[in-house]
A and B are shown apart, each in its own frame.
Chain A
Amino acid sequence: MGLRRQNLKRRIYRDRHLYLMLIPVLLYFVVWHYLPMWGTRIAFQNVRFIGKNEWVGLKHFRVLFSSPIFLKVFFNTVAISTMKIVFIFPLPILLAFLLNEIRNPHVRQGVQSVVYIPHFLSWVVIAGVFISLLEAPDGAMNKVLGVFGFDPVSFMTSSRHIRWVFVFSEAWRSMGWDSILYIAAINSIAPELYDAATVDGASRFQQARKITLPCIAPTIITVFILNMGFFMNAGFDQVFNMMNDAVISQVDIIDTYVYRVGLRKGNFSLGTAAGLFKGIIGIGLIFTTDRLSRKLTGEGVW
């Protein structure tokens, strides 16, 4: 015991310069991340600008859960996230399969480098581009629909369409980039498997179904589980930049609620309570999905 402690001391002394280098790093995390975590205590307080804040227990949470607006916001968050997972999740997998089937490397790489581009654009830019694209009646979308005899629709201000605009623009932005993982997984499959299948007379489609899909299944499961862990993030930047008064009741999510009610209207405690509620659900989801991942693939989320 005495020897180990001595050893420990010696190791710490030996690495003293490394600890010195670590100080700014740790200081950053403590100040920029852990102080705000401690700051969430205002969810249980009334904020006073003069004097000390007063503890009020769960008062703000009670207000929150009895507010029809917040319930609607919670429902919107779940609805938008669910739509995104259901409709967007399969797309990069499909894209990876199709890209993998292209034999000409120039065509394949050319397509790949184009479909990655939207990932690097800010949501401000994407909102600007989509507002133009979906404008009525001059936007490209309405022009094309007009050819098929449809009346122009103002998609951005239509509460029936706006959530589909979110799904569509999110798919546009992330489909290419998210396919990278699957492409890498497909590339790491042993070619002998395909050679054997070809000898046995399996068609390309059969090969994709019987070889490629089972081989990349662990990747698919891992990515799916990771996505579920961040389920409560329905996409703040997207919603914030694409929302407008005409559709707010359909698209207001927890994060935009925190900004609007908490920061803009100055209900700091109520906003923090809403954020904290979301954060706690998030932690729960991540730990659940980690458990699930360990069971299904033998590996945790981290």
Chain B
Amino acid sequence: MVKIQYRFSQGLLSLFMVLLALVMIYPIYNQLVISLTGDQYIAAADGTTVIPRGITLQTYRSVLSIPKVYRGVLNSIFITLSGLVVNIAMTAMGAYVLIKKDLVGRQFFMGLIVLTMIFEGGLIPDYFLMRDLHLLDSYWSVIMYKAINPYYLIILMRFFAGVPQSLIEAARIDGYSEVRILFRIVIPVSIAGIATISLFYGVFHWNEYFRAMIYLTSEVKWPLQVVLRELIVSLEKAAFIGSMNYQKMAGAAAIPFKAIKASLIIIAILPILSVYPFLLRYFVRGRLQGSVKE
């Protein structure tokens, strides 16, 4: 009797949780459906359309042919990759030096870094800094933004601290330079840590829009998120495609607004969703690593 009751409540709970998960993912799925719906059915497709009719990739083809959009995709890829190189190199160097317990001034350096987690100069001083460094409208302004995130630095320090000290000492005795020890021994041994912070940094760069929006004055340098934002906020198809292109881009002009928007949303999510299932465990581990205090 107890066993049946247990099975029943288990079944009910599982059903409830699966439903919850489905409801949570549904709004995204709905965008996918709308982006795939063929143009003769698109007018009838709404928030409750579950199965796309007349499935076609035509919307994607047309949207990706808008110069703003394909440039946006390329800019996002460029900023994310360059940003990652800077992030990893800087964070790894910082973490490697700061795990040395008897380094003179270590406490002071850590304090200097941790203080930036609590207090920021803020938007306007940041903007003036970019102006004074002549980085406005330069990709460097967004690549260098948050080049080292103190949280991720601390996560990486935890991974580096797991590298056997004897290994490092042995390399020092053999006359390895510190840079070589870092890149040849410490990083390869803690590759899981590098993977974890790369994911966090990568998602950050891919999703970042605000600094790009205020620092990059030329539209041709805009990453995808800024382009998408303009579309969502302006709600104006003609302005988005551009009157110049509107005549030439007959294909894009014919697509309803909701399909353009839906396909752009999916394009903006796709890179993250396609790596997500394979790398989920790194994300979760990083979340836990970051939460444990030093």
Tell me the A residues contacting B by CB distance below 8 Å. 8, 11-12, 15, 17-19, 21-22, 24-26, 28-29, 31-40, 42, 98-99, 101-104, 107, 110-111, 113-118, 120-125, 127-133, 135, 138-144, 172, 176-177, 180-181, 184, 236-237, 240-241, 255, 258-259, 262-263, 268, 271-272, 275-276, 279, 282-283, 286, 299-300, 302
Contact = CB atoms under 8 A, between A and B. Distances in A.
A18 B178 contact: yes
A122 B225 contact: yes
Taking residues whose C-beta sits less than 8 angstroms from the other chain, chain B's interface range is 35 or more
A133 B29 CA distance: 11
Contact of B47 (A103, A138, A263): A138
B103 interface: yes
Contacts of A121: 28, 207, 269, 272
Interface of B: 10, 13-14, 16-18, 20-22, 24-28, 30-31, 34, 46-48, 90, 93-94, 96-98, 100, 102-104, 109, 112-114, 116, 118-129, 133, 144-145, 147-148, 177-179, 182, 203, 206-210, 214, 225, 228-229, 232-233, 258, 261-262, 264-265, 268-269, 272-273, 276-277, 280, 283-284, 287-288, 291, 293-294
Given A26-B112, A124-B225, A132 B287 contact: no
B146 to A, nearest CB: 8
Nearest to A240: B210
Given A29-B148, A31-B129, 15 more contacts: A17-B177, A36-B121, A36-B126, A38-B121, A38-B125, A98-B16, A111-B17, A123-B207, A124-B207, A128-B264, A132-B30, A138-B46, A144-B48, A184-B288, A258-B122
A19 B17 CA distance: 52
A241 B232 contact: yes
Given A25-B90, A180-B288, A237 B210 contact: yes
A129 B31 contact: yes
Q: Is the interface of B mostly helix, strand, loop or mixed?
A: helix
Contacts of A103: 10
Given A12-B104, A128-B265, A140-B27, A111 B280 contact: no
Most buried by B among A21, A99, A132: A132
Contacts of A286: 118
Contacts of B127: 263
